[in-house]
Amino acid sequence: MNRRTRTWILGWCVLGGIWPLYAQEGATPKLILPDETVPETKPLKPSQPAILPDDPNGKSRYSPELLNLIDSGRDNPAPPETQEGVADPYRKQRVWLHFDYLLQRITNGPIRVPVLTLNGNPNSIAALNEPGTGVLVGGGNRNFDFRGMNGLRLTAGGWLDSEGRFGVEASAFLFSPNTTGYVAQASGLGSVLAIPVNAITPFPGNPAGETSLNPGGAPSSVRISGSTELWGTEANALFVPNPGDDLTLAVLMGGRYMNVREKFELTDVFYDTNNAGTVAVRDSFDTQNHFGGVNLGGQAQWNLGRWQASVTGKVALGVVRQTLNVHGDTVVNGSAFGMANAVFPGGVFSQPSNIGSSSQDRFGVLPEANFRLAFAITPNVRINVGYDALFLNSVLRPGNQIDRNVNVNQSVLFGGGAPASQQPGRMMNDTGLWMQGLSFGVGFSY
């Protein structure tokens, strides 16, 4: 490389390094010669924009918008926990799935009339108007206590947008069938077990009024049982007016369904010790309640690092379709007590006058409150404990549908064969139902 070439290269390198430092918009580049003094550089203050050291007017070559952005970042640095890439992993997730074990109690199953009595006098029939008669079951005494009910609840949902303003959630719960009841036995030599009724008409050898179905000195056993089944589902749209990381307030609206099915059964068996025959008398009252309505409510949720607390309140308004099914029969085996072996319609409280099915519709109100406290084991897995309370204002419960005013002439046990009357009638008495208890679960979110 000759001397002339090296001179050109050196010149271009000098110009290339100086030009960016002294080039001004609308100005001509200027070289600082060896005999000139370099202007003193002014120190920058934290909120002072950058100034070119050779500009006598103090004019910056950066736009005002860029300088404002630089100053804002200098004076208000972003907190580390909200910077991109290091966000709190326990904040709101996009989708979620919860599994809960439910341990709940419901309102005791009522039995509005006395259905089992006892009298210590072997010569009595244990009718309600006899001295010494006590009520063992029914009439406000010893109703059905279903105690703890075990169930499961599944909840799934997700946000439809990245900000968490619009979402959907669906939930379903199911309780295992719960059965309870009473069993009593009598030898026929001492105390008398009986099913008390009020006869509205005279029957062979007896006037109208208080009487009972009793074994007449024969051994007997009585079994009274009640069962309940509950399940339901709901689906809601979620709207969050002002999404936040620490506190989220959501409005929910959707639809809800709940089914309550219960059963009352009474079986009284008389034993004929002479020929080993039996007479079994059975009553069955089955109720079904189908609620469907519109769901409205709200939810508040707090996120505190690994901890999360939520409160949900909602109320569904709709219709309860209520159905009552009454069955009953008397079964004679072994020619007991000289009767022909057969199956006869009707028991004690179930007779041709009320056997069958009836339905009605009632306005339904179903409020519910839920409280939940959750802890995040990992950013995607939480365990939780909660409390739930629910009330349905109108349901048919089978123990409330028993009419003890009976035309006993419909029954083969009291003579039978008489035309059916209007009693016992098919009752349709509704009442409210409470359910409350604890929940324990695990949730997954992504």
How do residues 290-324 score in pLDDT, each as one tens digit? 999 999 999 999 988 899 999 999 999 999 999 99
- Residue 190: the pLDDT is 86
Same domain for 235 and 332, yes or no, is yes
Say if 88 falls within a structural domain.
Answer: no
Same domain for 56 and 134, yes or no, is no
Distance of CA 153 to the CA centre of its chain: 7
d(CA 278, CA 20): 114
Same domain for 112 and 148, yes or no, is yes
Same domain for 290 and 400, yes or no, is yes
Same domain for 351 and 243, yes or no, is yes
Say if 175 falls within a structural domain.
Answer: yes
Six-digit token string for 63: 């736009």
Residues in the chain: 446
For residue 220, the number of C-alpha atoms closer than 13 Å in the C-beta half-sphere is: 25
For β-strands 192-199 and 405-406, DSSP reports them as: parallel
Q: Is the pLDDT of residue 368 over 70?
A: yes
Whole-structure pTM value:
0.77
Among residues 26, 50, 82, which one ends one of the domains? 82
Q: Would you call the peptide bond into 241 cis, given omega within 30 degrees of 0 as the criterion?
A: no
Say if 87 falls within a structural domain.
Answer: no
Q: Average of pLDDT values for 106-123? A: 94
Amino acid in the structure at residue 189: L
Same domain for 103 and 132, yes or no, is yes
Supply the DSSP symbol for 189: S
Same domain for 46 and 77, yes or no, is yes
| Residue in the block written with tokens 């070289």 | 31
Supply the DSSP symbol for 22: H
Nearest one of 368, 335, 356 to 424, comparing CA atoms: 356
Q: Average of pLDDT values for 386-408? A: 95
pLDDT > 90: percent of the chain: 62
d(CA 272, CA 146): 34
Same domain for 62 and 115, yes or no, is no
Same domain for 148 and 222, yes or no, is yes
The number of domains in the chain is: 2
The model's confidence at residue 402, banded by pLDDT at 50, 70 and 90, is: very high
407 vs 327, residue with greater confidence: 327
Q: Is the pLDDT of residue 92 over 70?
A: no
What's the pLDDT tens digit per position in 418-430? 555 678 999 999 9
Same domain for 37 and 150, yes or no, is no
Same domain for 212 and 132, yes or no, is yes
Same domain for 19 and 151, yes or no, is no
Q: In terms of residue numbers, what domain contains 230?
A: 96-445
Say if 90 falls within a structural domain.
Answer: no
Q: Is the pLDDT of residue 265 over 70?
A: yes
What's the pLDDT tens digit per position in 216-252? 888 999 999 999 999 999 999 999 998 877 888 999 9
Say if 116 falls within a structural domain.
Answer: yes
287 vs 91, residue with greater confidence: 287
Say if 323 falls within a structural domain.
Answer: yes
DSSP string for residues in 318-356: EEEEEEEEEEEEEEEETTGGGPPSEEEE--SS--TTT-E
Question: Taking all residues of the chain, what is their mean pLDDT, rounded to a whole number?
Answer: 84
